[in-house]
């Protein structure tokens, strides 16, 4: 632990599950980095849907993770644990974490961090890791997406959606995306989507079939589940891949297995937070070599919605639950 660090810090936690109002500040010891860990003085922390679900009592942190919400941060490395080289001290980074992001200081595995270009702002950087790791693993690793294919993304103006659209276009895919208003559809088109569908006024299955001349899409990135799964399967082309990363529309789905066999479909899904440090390090390495240059060159950048002070984390959650946001919500901690 660096000698000039305080003994305590402010974090946003909660005593019991509930609405956004249950989030409140608390004073905790500044954590000490263990083997292969770094301590980050947090400039900004990203706000994500899993944070909301955790606060509601439905997504407990995995064993050993901080109970404080927050899955991504940006800031400066102020202390290092055993196994971390001295060159990392003082480095500007963003990092994927398993919890603890809503705090002035946060631990991260050094292999889950990405070094920032000198000209990348901390607020932008905090909006990257959770969505980037999630999209990379699910669209490109589990969904086997490749150039020339077509991707259907639900929730196109969410943090995940805006990241998926940009990455898919950067890798020369066609993108179809859904959203709940004409204004959001316009935002999706500005990001590069080839077709934006207002799911409240249009049947996305029919629109996908029309746009693809009846052939369907190669990959579906699904955050809804429930009755969307069967409809997504109608949108899939032969040998299509369906990847579920959230169940906002329900835990269960009824599907026709004859369709799976006839089209030779692959149905998969994942949650990233409980995966091993080694697994996340492998994803980070792939991202560093194949996707991170796009961020360094500004070919891809997170869409920013609104920034709240750390103390107003409850208001940030309320903003997310309202569903009016376009892109990422972040919390300003030190704001370096």
Coil, helix or strand at residue 94 = strand
Structural element, H or E, at residue 327: none
Taking phi over 0 as left and psi of -120 to 50 as alpha, with beta for the rest, 209 belongs to alpha
Q: Angle 11-272-318 (CA atoms, 0-180°, nearest 5)? A: 45
The label of the residue with tokens 């750390």 reads 310
Instruction: Please tell me the predicted confidence (pLDDT) of residue 336.
Output: 79
Evaluate whether 177 touches 188 at the Cβ level (below 8 Å).
yes
Residue ranges, comma separated, of all CATH 3.90.180.10 domains in the chain are 8-128+273-332
Half-sphere exposure of residue 190: CA atoms within 13 angstroms, side-chain side = 10
The pTM (predicted TM-score) of the whole model is: 0.95
Coil, helix or strand at residue 46 = strand
Which residues have C-beta within 8 Å of that of residue 214, sequence separation ≥ 6? none
Instruction: Please tell me the predicted confidence (pLDDT) of residue 258.
Output: 97
Evaluate whether 192 touches 175 at the Cβ level (below 8 Å).
yes
Q: Which residues of 11-29 are buried (b: 16+ CB within 10 A; e: fewer)?
A: bbbbeeeeebebbeeeebe
Q: Angle 104-105-110 (CA atoms, 0-180°, nearest 5)? A: 145
Instruction: Please tell me the predicted confidence (pLDDT) of residue 305.
Output: 97
CA distance 314 to 20: 4
Instruction: Please tell me the predicted confidence (pLDDT) of residue 4.
Output: 87
CA distance 291 to 297: 10
Evaluate whether 195 touches 202 at the Cβ level (below 8 Å).
no
CA distance 48 to 69: 9
Question: In this structure, are strands 217-222 and 195-198 parallel, antiparallel, or unpaired?
Answer: unpaired
Tokens of 239: 């040998």
CA distance 161 to 35: 35
CATH topology of domain 8-128+273-332: Quinone Oxidoreductase; Chain A, domain 1 (3.90.180)
Q: Angle 288-53-219 (CA atoms, 0-180°, nearest 5)? A: 50
CATH topology of domain 133-269: Rossmann fold (3.40.50)
Please identify every stretch of the chain with a pLDDT value under 70, giving residue numbers as ranges: 1-3
Which residues have C-beta within 8 Å of that of residue 283, sequence separation ≥ 6? 133, 136, 137, 141
Residue ranges, comma separated, of all CATH 3.40.50.720 domains in the chain are 133-269
Q: How many residues does the chain have?
A: 336
Coil, helix or strand at residue 332 = strand
Instruction: Please tell me the predicted confidence (pLDDT) of residue 1.
Output: 52
CA distance 156 to 176: 9
The label of the residue with tokens 């609405």 reads 19
Over the stretch 183-197, which tens digit does the pLDDT of each residue have?
999 999 999 999 999
């Amino acid at each position: 632990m660096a000698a000039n660090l305080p003994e305590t810090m402010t974090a946003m936690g909660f005593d019991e599950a509930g609405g956004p109002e249950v989030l409140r500040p608390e004073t905790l010891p500044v954590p000490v980095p263990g083997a292969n860990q770094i301590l980050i003085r947090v400039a900004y922390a990203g706000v994500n849907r899993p944070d909301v679900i955790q606060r509601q009592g439905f997504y407990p942190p995995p064993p050993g993770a901080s109970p404080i919400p927050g899955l991504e941060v940006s800031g400066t490395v102020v202390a290092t644990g055993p196994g971390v080289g001295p060159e990392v001290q003082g480095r500007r980074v963003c990092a994927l974490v398993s919890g603890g992001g809503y705090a002035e200081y946060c631990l991260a595995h050094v292999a889950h961090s990405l070094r920032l270009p000198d000209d990348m702002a901390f607020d932008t950087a905090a909006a990257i890791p959770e969505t980037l790791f999630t999209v990379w693993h699910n669209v490109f690793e589990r969904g086997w997406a490749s150039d020339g294919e077509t991707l259907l993304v639900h929730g196109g103006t969410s943090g995940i959606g805006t990241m998926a659209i940009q990455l898919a276009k950067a890798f020369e895919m066609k993108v179809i995306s859904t959203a709940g208003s004409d204004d959001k559809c316009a935002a999706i088109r500005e990001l590069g989507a080839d077709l934006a569908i207002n799911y409240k006024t249009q049947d996305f299955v029919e629109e996908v079939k029309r746009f693809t001349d009846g052939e369907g899409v190669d990959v579906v990135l699904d955050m809804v589940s429930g009755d969307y799964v069967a409809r997504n399967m109608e949108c899939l082309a032969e040998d299509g891949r369906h990847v579920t990363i959230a169940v906002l529309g329900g835990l269960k789905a009824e599907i026709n297995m004859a369709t799976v066999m006839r089209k030779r479909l692959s149905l998969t899904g994942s949650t990233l937070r409980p995966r091993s440090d080694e697994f996340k390090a492998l994803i980070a390495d792939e991202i560093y070599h194949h996707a991170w240059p796009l961020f360094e060159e500004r070919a891809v950048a997170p869409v920013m919605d609104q920034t709240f002070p750390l103390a107003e984390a409850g208001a940030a959650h309320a903003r997310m639950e309202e569903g009016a946001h376009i892109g990422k919500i972040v919390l300003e901690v030190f704001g370096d």
